[in-house]
Structure 1
Amino acid sequence: MLDKHKHLLEPLPQGQVFKRLLAYTASHKKLIIIAMLLLIGGTAADLAGPILVKIFIDDYLTPRNFVTEALTALAAVYILLYLGSAVMNYIQSFMFQKIALSIIRELRIDVFRKVENLGLSFFDQFPAGGLISRITNDTEQIKELYITVLATFVQNIVFLIGVFIAMFYLNPQLAAFCLLVLPVIAAVMYLYKKYSSIYYADMSEKLSELNSRLNESIQGMPVIQMFRQERRMNKEFAAVNEGHHRAWLKSMKLDGLLLRPAVDLISILALMLVLTYFGITSFAGPVEIGVIYAFVNYLDRFFEPVNQIMQRLSMFQQAMISAGRVFKLMDHEEPPPLQKGSETPSIKDGAVQFSNVNFSYNEKEQIFKNVSFQVKKGEMLAIVGHTGSGKSSIINALMRFYPVDNGSIFIDGKNLEQYTDSELRSHMGLVLQDAFIFVGDMRYNIRLYDENINDEEVRQAAEKVGADSFIERLPGGYSHKIGERGATLSTGERQLLSFARTIVKDPKILILDEATASIDTETETVIQHALEKAREGRTTIAIAHRLSTIRHADHILVLKEGVVAEEGTHDELIEQKGIYEKMYRLQKGRESVSE
């Protein structure tokens, strides 16, 4: 990971994180108000129960005053309060969870939209597994914060306030003494928050590393098995997993010490305080049994929500750390090069011109320098050179995936920077060496979400590039289902499908990045035939590995260490007896030997 991405691993202040999480509740104010009113009503009904029992004990049971009508009314009120509390608590709990699920849906959409709008330079350096972990695992932790933690906190805080109101109603002096418990509980919470944030941050990073390792291993499984690296990869995975395990153990030890045991000790001390108070008071005069019952009942009820809050603190800390990681990603600014100026030109012919263009990925090491060329509508430019000479980087600059350092790129005489992204993408077709195939059917992979492309256009595009022959042999034809990355298709079939996907868009500029480098000779012949048709009336730029495929190019650039070393037609370059001629003779000799 580059230095400019290291800040993504630094934690955000929890106060800032919590404010941003609460900001997502703004669009749900009405539902939250209704849920809060139901919560207060349900809590009040629940807390009224011990007071009714106190009235029964002190006013009726102790003096043996059994008035049937009064006792019946008291029992009816008690039952109605219990049922009302149950109904209101059920509805408010459902509403809070509904709000929480809506919020997490919005958050996931926001973070995914942010990731989609980051420049390719970000994806080149940030591990894919780490991204997946933030979008899935971390947002799942945030979901638990809204559904379980915040709902529990709100419900129990309202309940605690109600308990103290009831306790002050019964005995203001003793209730005031009980308030001394709150600073002790706050101190325990502070200690837990301080140390658990460190452990959970470490745990989250270890989980991201674990996902990154998994993603890399699964993607590279053929290579791992081919070179018999299973044991080494297993050791490396076990080491990362052990780090995650140790981080979990630290957090569990902290939970075991500062959660339930600490609160239980405080509750015992509080109970001793209350019983001592009533014991001392009894020497001065009689003590009402109903008051003792109600007070002890409320004290027990007081520590029940405290325990629930403490138990949720671990989830709260995990969610806050996860939310901080998600917001760090959402705050990261690394957009692709964007349109500049207010002018919005349109691409009509697709003529391309590079004028003294310099390019680098890190602003330090130049990939290519002072590259200039021009390709008119209907012409084909081929770019060749050894690995690392800057061929693919020219395509990245033309597609505006990355900004150029110096110089200018023009399309139809207008600077590349003036075009909108939609204008560029709708008139450029790109075929890569490694064709990416999505899960879905054949028709979907050619159309790619564009509902304006009908089935007939899909079929015509497949016919034009020669893909129809293998598609129609498949079960279901164009409705044939494809697995992840098109694993059930051959390399050539995936490439033909990629060609069809490009041609169906009818681009003005066709870009081929070593599109025939990894396919067999028979498929190459099919693609070459399709290419001859596809390049008619289009500007074509082809990066070539097999020089035999570009013999008929209108112009050829030969790159060496990022500089245009030679240029001309195939025949002109052969006559120069330079780099191109040597590369061509060498490849021709290899092909003769293979034959």
Structure 2
Amino acid sequence: MNHLIEFWPILKRLILYIKPYKKKLIVAFIFLLGGSISEVLGPILISYFINNILSKHALHLKIIFIIIILYIILQILSVFFNYFQSILFNKIAVRIINTLRQDVMNAALQQPISEFDSQPIGQMISKVTNDTEVVKELYDTVGPTLFRSVILIFIILCAMFTLEWRMAIIALLILPLVLTIMFIYQYYSTPLLRKVRYHLADINNKFNETINGMNVIQQFRQQKRFKKNIKKSSDLHYLARMKILRLDGFLLRPLLSLLSALILSNFIFLFSCFPIEAFEVGILYAFITYLGRLNEPLIAITIQQAILQQSIVAGERIFSLIDSPKQKYGKNKNIFTSGKINIKNISFHYKNSPKNILENININMPSKSFIALVGHTGSGKSTLASLLMGYYPVTQGKIYLDNKSIDSISHSVLRKNILMVQQDPIILSDTVLSNITLGRKISEEKVWEILDTVCLSSLVKSMPKGIYSLLGEEGSNLSVGQKQLLAIARILVSRPKILILDEATANIDSGTEQLIQKTLLSIRKNSTLVVIAHRLSTIVEADLIVVLKKGKIVEFGKHKKLLDSKSYYWKMYKFQLSKKL
């Protein structure tokens, strides 16, 4: 019963995507109907030829010629109608899938960052690609085939009742048996199909993980272990698929073929029991032909039941993503007049961990100030930066940006006024220009001005096509420092009121670090700088240094004051100095 409850709402929702294409769909169904009628009329002509001409030896050449011409015309019409209905259904299906993929991708783009912490990327990719491709079959295969099959069954039964009602009643007995088989198939196949989709997504996820981590895998000779993991997932997928195939092999074609054979035996028995005059040979031929024709749509319906179930399971996975909670933002669209930050009594823990990462954090950051967050790994620095960016909802305490509660600020205003440069910036496999503008409208002159500011203009000029030169995947043809400078160039397009640098200078040489420091001085004139520092030498000029330990503030003040106190910060600073020596 639960399977039926889940089945219909998802099917109804998938059918709603057809609404914009109603007119084209009606035309496609008319072509489909024309093709079906053309197919069914053929045996009636042959039956007429056997009963009225062949059996009576009345060889009227004119009538025979007309029958042949009509039969050829019917076959040509059948081909014509079936070709155009196939083209139309496929066009509609592709457009619907484009819309569905856009909805899925839009939902993925609006997912809270916390979802990416817990959900494997491969599972999400599988929903956008594999699952939507499975749903496509609902529109271009299942729908047309079911409609065509139902129409064929109806027309064939009408033709049978017109020719001989007793034999038609016997043929009719196959329908309730087929419906019973379909319900049994649906009941047992749904959980198996869910497993198939899950294991396929798991395979995609492991391939994604393996390819992205290929350097580490080869470096530590982990090829066998990863191969074993993928093989395990593939075996589970294979076993689930085999269960489906066994179910198909038993409940679909063999069982239906057996039912058709039993009906045909009844026809022969009925034909034998009655006087020869009661049934004409042409009628028996027509019934045998129609039974074969009737068998095919019934088998087609049952096979489509399998594809339909796969589409429903795929649709269930797709809608689970579309319906999942979106990243929430406020409605306040007032522009920022300052870069003031006020953090009050913030405590925070991640969804899958009850332990607080941050504990009762209170910081006041004036506009255009330079604030540094320092501490050992796991102290909560990056988590605090993510909260300032609005990546996670604030559940305990308050964060105010420009005297506005962060949960009241609209998405457009928040993203325009607070930006982050991360330790490992994302570089798109696109042109230098596209990597800087990211879709924002800006002149080429302004781009070159920004490249001069971040000291990248000479590098870009040396490239074959200048700012139109393609960067490799993840910026493979750039150094770590050049990636950081390019990430800062993006920031300079809009000049945010608040800029966060999450250990942006941790992996770069001292020369590039000086270039970044120089660039930051120009940004600081208009923006509040929040720097998560690994190298303490880079934040000696900070207006306020906040020292975190295990999610708590243990010290705060200026560089000199913290050194004079000879506490936690002093130990960190001395340790780094000793490493340099």
Whether contact under 8 Å (1:351, 1:539) holds in the other structure is yes
Q: 2:508 aligns with which of 510, 519, 525?
A: 519
Q: 1:581 aligns with which of 570, 578, 581?
A: 570
Once the two structures are superposed, what CA deviation does each residue of 1:364-403 show, in whole Å capped at 9, x if it has no partner? 3222222222222321111111111111111111111111
SS at match of 1:436: coil
SS at match of 2:419: strand
Whether contact under 8 Å (2:374, 2:532) holds in the other structure is yes
Whether contact under 8 Å (1:202, 1:247) holds in the other structure is yes
1:288 to 2:280 alignment? yes
Q: CA deviation at 1:432?
A: 0.3
Q: CA deviation at 1:257?
A: 2.1
Hey, what does 2:320 align to over in structure 1?
328
Name the CA distance, whole Å, in 1 between partners of 2:574 and 2:400.
Answer: 35
Once the two structures are superposed, what CA deviation does each residue of 1:210-241 show, in whole Å capped at 9, x if it has no partner? 11111111222222122221222222222122
1:199 to 2:163 alignment? no
Corresponding letter in the other structure for 1:196 = S
SS at match of 1:540: strand
Q: 1:67 aligns with which of 60, 69, 79?
A: 60
Hey, what does 1:314 align to over in structure 2?
306
Name the CA distance, whole Å, in 1 between partners of 2:62 and 2:241.
Answer: 60
Name the CA distance, whole Å, in 2 between partners of 1:446 and 1:214.
Answer: 31
Corresponding letter in the other structure for 2:450 = A
SS at match of 2:328: coil
Hey, what does 1:492 align to over in structure 2?
481
Q: CA deviation at 1:12?
A: 7.7
SS at match of 1:373: strand
SS at match of 2:361: strand
Q: CA deviation at 1:82?
A: 2.3
Corresponding letter in the other structure for 1:584 = Y
Hey, what does 1:425 align to over in structure 2?
415
Q: 2:81 aligns with which of 82, 88, 91?
A: 88
Listed as ranges, the gaps of 5+ residues in structure 1 are: 1-9
1:471 to 2:460 alignment? yes
**Structure 1, 86-95 or 296-305: larger mean CA deviation:** 86-95
Corresponding letter in the other structure for 2:460 = I
Once the two structures are superposed, what CA deviation does each residue of 1:402-439 show, in whole Å capped at 9, x if it has no partner? 11123222222222222211011012221000111111
Q: CA deviation at 1:588?
A: 1.2
Hey, what does 2:328 align to over in structure 1?
337
Name the CA distance, whole Å, in 2 between partners of 1:286 and 1:243.
Answer: 59
* Structure-1-length-normalised TM-score: 0.93
1:393 to 2:383 alignment? yes
Q: CA deviation at 1:115?
A: 1.2
Q: CA deviation at 1:347?
A: 0.5
Name the CA distance, whole Å, in 2 between partners of 1:12 and 1:291.
Answer: 45
- The 5 Å alignment of 1:362-381 reads 362=351, 364-381=354-371
Hey, what does 2:132 align to over in structure 1?
139
Hey, what does 1:448 align to over in structure 2?
438
Say if 1:11 and 1:277 are closer, same or farther in 2 by CA, change over 3 A.
Answer: closer
Hey, what does 1:559 align to over in structure 2?
548
**Structure 1, 560-569 or 55-64: larger mean CA deviation:** 55-64
Q: 1:544 aligns with which of 530, 533, 539?
A: 533
Name the CA distance, whole Å, in 1 between partners of 2:25 and 2:268.
Answer: 40
Listed as ranges, the gaps of 5+ residues in structure 2 are: none
Name the CA distance, whole Å, in 1 between partners of 2:468 and 2:76.
Answer: 56
Once the two structures are superposed, what CA deviation does each residue of 1:36-91 show, in whole Å capped at 9, x if it has no partner? 22222221122111111122222222223333443333333323222222212222
Corresponding letter in the other structure for 1:257 = F
1:501 to 2:490 alignment? yes
Hey, what does 2:177 align to over in structure 1?
184
1:230 to 2:223 alignment? yes
Q: 1:459 aligns with which of 444, 448, 471?
A: 448
Corresponding letter in the other structure for 2:399 = I
Hey, what does 2:406 align to over in structure 1?
416
Q: 1:170 aligns with which of 159, 163, 167?
A: 163
SS at match of 1:510: strand
Name the CA distance, whole Å, in 2 between partners of 1:24 and 1:257.
Answer: 34
Name the CA distance, whole Å, in 1 between partners of 2:44 and 2:234.
Answer: 54
Q: 1:568 aligns with which of 557, 573, 578?
A: 557
Hey, what does 1:6 align to over in structure 2?
none
Hey, what does 2:392 align to over in structure 1?
402
Name the CA distance, whole Å, in 1 between partners of 2:113 and 2:188.
Answer: 37
Corresponding letter in the other structure for 2:382 = S
- The 5 Å alignment of 1:4-23 reads 13-23=6-16
Whether contact under 8 Å (2:340, 2:365) holds in the other structure is yes
**Structure 1, 438-447 or 476-485: larger mean CA deviation:** 476-485
**Structure 1, 539-548 or 54-63: larger mean CA deviation:** 54-63
Corresponding letter in the other structure for 2:304 = R
Whether contact under 8 Å (1:11, 1:321) holds in the other structure is no
Q: CA deviation at 1:119?
A: 0.7
Name the CA distance, whole Å, in 1 between partners of 2:311 and 2:347.
Answer: 45
Corresponding letter in the other structure for 2:420 = L
SS at match of 1:24: helix
Whether contact under 8 Å (1:551, 1:570) holds in the other structure is yes
Q: CA deviation at 1:32?
A: 1.6
- The 5 Å alignment of 1:216-255 reads 216-255=209-248
**Structure 1, 295-304 or 140-149: larger mean CA deviation:** 140-149
Whether contact under 8 Å (1:447, 1:504) holds in the other structure is yes
Regions of 4+ moved over 6 Å: none
Q: CA deviation at 1:518?
A: 1.3
Hey, what does 1:3 align to over in structure 2?
none
Hey, what does 1:303 align to over in structure 2?
295
Name the CA distance, whole Å, in 2 between partners of 1:68 and 1:371.
Answer: 101
Corresponding letter in the other structure for 2:494 = K
Hey, what does 2:343 align to over in structure 1?
354
Whether contact under 8 Å (2:341, 2:399) holds in the other structure is yes
Q: CA deviation at 1:545?
A: 0.7
RMSD: 1.9
Corresponding letter in the other structure for 2:98 = R
Whether contact under 8 Å (1:360, 1:404) holds in the other structure is no
Whether contact under 8 Å (1:129, 1:215) holds in the other structure is yes
Q: 1:29 aligns with which of 22, 25, 34?
A: 22
Name the CA distance, whole Å, in 1 between partners of 2:433 and 2:472.
Answer: 14
Say if 1:46 and 1:319 are closer, same or farther in 2 by CA, change over 3 A.
Answer: same
Once the two structures are superposed, what CA deviation does each residue of 1:13-55 show, in whole Å capped at 9, x if it has no partner? 1222211111111222111222222222221122111111122
Name the CA distance, whole Å, in 2 between partners of 1:325 and 1:357.
Answer: 36
Name the CA distance, whole Å, in 2 between partners of 1:414 and 1:145.
Answer: 48
Name the CA distance, whole Å, in 2 between partners of 1:420 and 1:404.
Answer: 15
Q: CA deviation at 1:169?
A: 0.8
Once the two structures are superposed, what CA deviation does each residue of 1:135-155 show, in whole Å capped at 9, x if it has no partner? 111111111222122221211
Name the CA distance, whole Å, in 2 between partners of 1:189 and 1:322.
Answer: 19
Whether contact under 8 Å (1:439, 1:483) holds in the other structure is yes
Name the CA distance, whole Å, in 2 between partners of 1:416 and 1:204.
Answer: 39
Q: CA deviation at 1:337?
A: 3.3
Q: 1:125 aligns with which of 118, 121, 128?
A: 118
Corresponding letter in the other structure for 1:212 = N
